[in-house]
Amino acid sequence: LRIENLEEERTRITKHLNNNGFYKFAENFITFDIDSSRGNDKTIIITKIKQPKSDSLHFKYYLNKIYINTSYDPYVSNESLTDTIVYNDVKIISNGKSKFNPNPLYRSLFIHPKELYNQRKENLTFQQFANLQMFSFIKIEFKEIENENGIKQLDVFVLLKPAKRMSVSGELMGIYREGFGGNGQVSFNKKNAFGNSEILNFTFSGGFENLKQVDENDFKIGSNIGPRLSLTFPRLFLLPRTTKSIPKNSFPKTTFSAYYNFQQRSQFARYLTNISLTYKWNEGKYKTHSFSLLDMNFAFITKDSKILSDLSRLSPSQKFKFEDAISSGVKYSFLYNNQNNDKIKNPTYFIAKSSLIGLTALAAEALKLEERDINTNAITLAGIRYATFFKIQGDLRKFFNFTHNQQIALRSFIGAGISLDKDGVIPFDQLYFVGGANSIRGWRQRTLGQGSYNNADDNVDKLGEVKIEVNAEYRFPITTILKGALFMDAGNVWTEKPDRDTEPYGYKNIDINRFYKEFAVSPGLGLRLDFDFFLFRVDLGVPLKQAYNYSTWKLESNKTQINFGVGYPF
């Protein structure tokens, strides 16, 4: 016999009754009589329901009229509402003409006239309106009425205060080693863009980095810049039958997006365009599914004479990674995240992603209709290489919380891609890299790897089809807003296939007998300014073990990286 079990039973009974019409029932109506006088370690428990003070019985309540107020303001009088729309037995009221079309509002309701009151449906209605991201204040009120037959009824008032339609947000991330570098972005959001509760987002991102020239002993500025435009609908757009088959409480969404990115490195420039159509829906409280029915990439690269000379020394499979490419296919991701539940002491975050790219090309190949490059034998479209590959990755994070706001955060990441055409490769923009403010913080982005490869004269970005990374971070408070961190990062990237021409400098490809020896390791410490709504951090990462040296562990303080960022690295 445990008090906690009785409390859980009281909560269970109350929830069951609240979900079956008993609007006014509460836990304090439930009492337990306990008789333990019979001995033999046996106890008789009698559950009793107390009568309400004003009535001899607990009554069921039915819903009567439902009103949605889209102009509510909790701080002023709301008596000047001048416009009413009746939509499927629901009255939508506003001050002047409503800025919201009625259909998305009606779809957000889980409660309807003539139904029994159900607290679960009330909570789902609140959650759905919150998921629309259209309103800064949401409240559901009930007014008791009684009809001529003595049936208890409730009028429902869904009170909504519209949020600001336009909002701006930004993000910054920096690094310092022999010169500053950094990335940033600014996002513009327009809510209810076309009246159907859509969210229109425009993001402009850019950054720069000092790139050391191996053969010139100086630096050049590398940069990347580009816009992204997306439009999100609160339903599965273009799939009406599927929308009806998916439960409303999965809160489905559709996002159309397109972006363009220009990247200038020391020896080449890359132009990337992407178009995608993505569906997203929830499963329960913690799971989210995402499926991209369409994901198209167009990558074009221009190279100077120096990198052409460098690439000429690489194997064909390595060289092709820096060629123009087209890819299209489908993507799926699964997210499990319970970090927002304060009752869970040690929350978990896990996301898995998979991509199957090049379905059209594979179908053409099966029908013997594909085009082939006469020199490389790779599948092409209008003379441009058409990528075909499968990619899968997982990112697991675990957070252990202790007293005095101390936390240990752990992350492990593994990802791999494999070409589905024996003469093909994975495009440049789909490859993995490590280093930087959110990865292995003792190295700059794209300067670590591949495998044990180490050639001081090779200034080409270090990219690979396989990535393994592990991180551990101890976070602790120093003052109210100043926080500290001690961390350890380890990992590397590898190529799928060996590069025989560069093996005198080390092995680039993944091998089960040695990959764990080729982990680069970087400890460090960090400071964070935590303003609750905004966190700015500075992390110092120091190389401790180089990937190309299996046995030497040496703290190389002269190669310390200073990383700047907004938000935690994971």
pLDDT in tens, 138-192: 999 999 998 878 889 999 999 999 999 999 988 877 665 555 677 888 999 999 9
For the record, the structure tokens of 15 come out as 């929830």
Q: What is the DSSP string of 195-225?
A: SSS-EEEEEEEEEEEEEE-TTTSSEEEEEEE
Q: Are residues 256 and 369 in the same domain?
A: yes
432 within a domain of the structure (yes/no): yes
536 within a domain of the structure (yes/no): yes
pLDDT digits (tens, 9 = 90+) for 514-546: 999 999 999 999 999 999 888 999 999 999 999
Q: Give the integer Cα–Cα distance in Å for 286 and 335.
A: 8
Among 145, 162, 179, which residue terminates a domain?
162
For the record, the structure tokens of 478 come out as 């120093």
> How many Cα atoms within 13 Å fall on the side-chain side of residue 34?
10
Q: What does each C-alpha distance from 414 to 24, 130, 250, 352 come to in angstroms?
A: 52, 34, 29, 10
Among residues 195, 201, 205, 186, the alpha carbon closest in space to that of 231 is found at 201
Q: With H, G, I as helix, E, B as strand and everything else as coil, classify residue 175.
A: strand
Among 107, 132, 162, which residue terminates a domain?
162
The residue ranges of the chain whose pLDDT is under 70 are 1, 39, 78, 80, 174-180, 210-221, 240-245, 266, 304-321, 369, 423
504 within a domain of the structure (yes/no): yes
Residue with tokens 């009103």: 67
Q: Are residues 459 and 559 in the same domain?
A: yes
Q: Are residues 345 and 489 in the same domain?
A: yes
560 within a domain of the structure (yes/no): yes
225 within a domain of the structure (yes/no): no
Q: Are residues 66 and 43 in the same domain?
A: no
The domain that contains 465 carries what CATH number?
2.40.160.50
Q: State the angle between helix axes of 3-18 and 119-132 in degrees (0 to 180), rounded to the nearest 10.
A: 80
For the record, the structure tokens of 472 come out as 């551990």
Q: Are residues 41 and 102 in the same domain?
A: no
Neighbours of 500 (CB within 10 A): 8
Q: What was the pLDDT predicted at 211?
A: 60
The DSSP code for 104 is: H
In degrees, to the nearest 5, what angle opens at C-alpha 86 toward C-alphas 84 and 92?
50
Q: Give the integer Cα–Cα distance in Å for 187 and 432.
A: 26
Among residues 431, 432, 439, 352, the alpha carbon closest in space to that of 394 is found at 352
CA dihedral 308, 433, 444, 474 (to 10 degrees): -170
Q: What was the pLDDT predicted at 218?
A: 54
Number of domains in the chain: 3
Q: Are residues 299 and 436 in the same domain?
A: yes
The answer to whether 464 and 560 are in contact (CB under 8 A) is no
Q: Give the integer Cα–Cα distance in Å for 196 and 182.
A: 38
Among residues 546, 391, 517, 320, the alpha carbon closest in space to that of 454 is found at 546
Please give the residue range of the domain that contains residue 292: 231-566
Q: Are residues 357 and 491 in the same domain?
A: yes
Q: Are residues 43 and 72 in the same domain?
A: no
Q: With H, G, I as helix, E, B as strand and everything else as coil, classify residue 312.
A: helix
Phi, psi of 347 (to 5 degrees): -70, 165
In degrees, to the nearest 5, what angle opens at C-alpha 405 toward C-alphas 400 and 407?
25
The DSSP code for 550 is: S
Q: With H, G, I as helix, E, B as strand and everything else as coil, classify residue 70.
A: coil
Phi, psi of 506 (to 5 degrees): 125, 170
What sign for the dihedral angle of Cα 323, 328, 330, 334?
A: positive
Neighbours of 156 (CB within 10 A): 22
Neighbours of 404 (CB within 10 A): 6
Q: Are residues 242 and 391 in the same domain?
A: yes
pTM as predicted: 0.83
Q: Are residues 258 and 385 in the same domain?
A: yes
442 within a domain of the structure (yes/no): yes
Phi, psi of 235 (to 5 degrees): -170, 175
Q: Are residues 236 and 281 in the same domain?
A: yes
Residues in CB range of 526: below 8 A, 6 or more apart: 484, 485, 486, 487, 537, 538, 539, 540
The answer to whether 47 and 67 are in contact (CB under 8 A) is no
Q: What was the pLDDT predicted at 214?
A: 46
Q: Give the integer Cα–Cα distance in Å for 495 and 464.
A: 5
Three-state DSSP string of 14-49: HHHHHCCCCCCCCHHHEEEEEECCCCCCCCEEEEEE
For the record, the structure tokens of 406 come out as 């101390």
β-partners of residue 432 are 464
The answer to whether 297 and 272 are in contact (CB under 8 A) is yes
Q: Are residues 257 and 398 in the same domain?
A: yes
268 within a domain of the structure (yes/no): yes
Q: What does each C-alpha distance from 223 to 220, 265, 355, 549 come to in angstroms?
A: 10, 7, 28, 31
The DSSP code for 54 is: S
Q: With H, G, I as helix, E, B as strand and everything else as coil, classify residue 471.
A: strand
226 within a domain of the structure (yes/no): no
Q: Give the integer Cα–Cα distance in Å for 276 and 296.
A: 6
Phi, psi of 107 (to 5 degrees): -65, -20
The DSSP code for 160 is: E
Q: Give the integer Cα–Cα distance in Å for 327 and 389.
A: 9
Q: Give the integer Cα–Cα distance in Å for 281 and 235.
A: 9
Among 115, 130, 162, which residue terminates a domain?
162
β-partners of residue 186 are 170, 204
